[in-house]
Structure 1
Amino acid sequence: MVDRRTLLLDTALELVGTQGMRGLTHRAVDAAADLPAGSTSNYFRTREALVLGIVERFIVREREMATGPRDQVDPTPDGVAEALGRFVDRALGPDRMVTLARYAILVETAQNPGLRAGMALGADQVDTWGLDLITRAGSRDPHRDVGLLANYVTGLVLHELALPSPDLDARARIRAVIDTLGWTVGEAS
């Protein structure tokens, strides 16, 4: 059973994913979650606190999109390509609202510097996880490669949301990037 805080954040993610940031209010979250008025504000006193809560939640959800229910990725070039390909497929399909919410929050962060610290903390968590994984997978320069892969996947998802490819093979595209980066299994630095 999902706890109330998680329910509120998942509901808020859906609202932002369907209505953009303009649709995010405490009242709207309460109504969409079918909870009494004031429920959201009991957990998140301000809109900024609610947005930062959503950031925490979409980081958890996006990691699940990549790792699956076991929260594991095979630390090989193929395993990383498979995980990131799965992430892209889910970001464009069943978890599309999470993806749209993330992009809306990124734009909001660009316009509201008060959100940057929370976004940076979340990015650091993702980078730490990614650095460990790609180091074990054979990256020769994990600090460079984590940013390159993250930005490639982010751009791929954004492009595919706007202009979908009928035959997208995200895994193959990501594997080509990994090959270009020159990863070698067993020779990670």
Structure 2
Amino acid sequence: MTDRKALLTDAAITTLAREGLRGLTHRAVDRVADVPPGSCSYYFRTRLALLTATVERLAELDADELAPVTPVPERVDQDHLAALLAGMAERSVTVNRERMVARYELSLESTRRPELRAALVAVGERYRELASTLLAAAGAADPDRQGRALVAFLDGVIFDRITGAGRVPLDPAAFRRTFAEALRGVLAG
């Protein structure tokens, strides 16, 4: 992604997190990015183009963050994997909270826009494949099925933390315990 497109999609992420989908306009993105009016619409002619590019930018940012675990080693220790997952969840609800809120906004919108849904599904498959590969390296009996379950669990924990549904705050140690217990359950089949 070019620097200008990255600047604009980063501003779209911020706008989505702060204002929701109703607040996401080309003009709002221009304001947040602090660029001349019309810049966003020059690069992304339609709202769908902006939304799709924002999904791609989120995937790009996530790929950078996941780079330390790719490629996946041949064997992965369960405790190490639990700590890795807990760290990802903790970052998702703290330093990457804005990205997660934007992702949830896009996910809900994708239920009404098949074209956006296709982009989200393609990106989501990358995460599920990585989870399957990690679980296979940790000794899972059915890594594809278990990887999908693990991603769903991870998403649920993050959503719970971001929306405030879980009233008890989880500290880093509690996150690690939660993921260690879930991982043991997943790997036990």
TM-score (norm 2): 0.85
Of stretches 74-83 and 24-33 in structure 1, the one that deviates more from structure 2 is 74-83
Q: Which residue of 2 aligns with 1:157?
A: 158
Of stretches 173-182 and 156-165 in structure 1, the one that deviates more from structure 2 is 156-165
Change in Cα spacing, 1:42 to 1:3, as seen in structure 2 (3 Å) is same
Q: Deviations over 1:88-109 (max 9, x none)?
A: 1111111111111111111111
- Distance in 2 (alpha carbons) for counterparts of 1:60 and 1:9: 11
What secondary structure is seen at the aligned counterpart in 2 of 1:146? helix
Specify which structure has the higher proportion of helix.
Answer: 2
Q: Which residue of 1 aligns with 2:20?
A: 20
Q: Deviations over 1:104-154 (max 9, x none)?
A: 111111122231111111112222222222212222211111111111011
Change in Cα spacing, 1:181 to 1:70, as seen in structure 2 (3 Å) is closer
- Structure 1 unmatched runs, 5+: 184-189
Q: Deviations over 1:21-40 (max 9, x none)?
A: 11111111111111112221
Change in Cα spacing, 1:35 to 1:96, as seen in structure 2 (3 Å) is same
Between the aligned residues of both structures, percent identity stands at 31
- Distance in 2 (alpha carbons) for counterparts of 1:175 and 1:25: 42
- Structure 2 unmatched runs, 5+: none
Change in Cα spacing, 1:70 to 1:182, as seen in structure 2 (3 Å) is closer
Change in Cα spacing, 1:176 to 1:64, as seen in structure 2 (3 Å) is farther
Match of 1:170 among 164, 171, 175: 175
TM-score (norm 1): 0.85
The answer to whether the 8 A contact 2:86-2:175 is kept is: yes
Change in Cα spacing, 1:83 to 1:121, as seen in structure 2 (3 Å) is same
1:66-85 mapped onto 2 (5 Å cutoff):
67=66, 70=68, 72=70, 75-85=76-86
1:58-97 mapped onto 2 (5 Å cutoff):
58-65=58-65, 67=66, 70=68, 72=70, 75-97=76-98
Q: Deviations over 1:58-82 (max 9, x none)?
A: 12333445x3x74557733223212
The answer to whether the 8 A contact 2:135-2:143 is kept is: yes
- Distance in 1 (alpha carbons) for counterparts of 2:182 and 2:130: 19
1:38-57 mapped onto 2 (5 Å cutoff):
38-57=38-57
- Distance in 2 (alpha carbons) for counterparts of 1:37 and 1:117: 30
**Cα root mean square deviation, aligned:** 2.2
Q: Deviations over 1:146-181 (max 9, x none)?
A: 111111011111111223422342221111111112
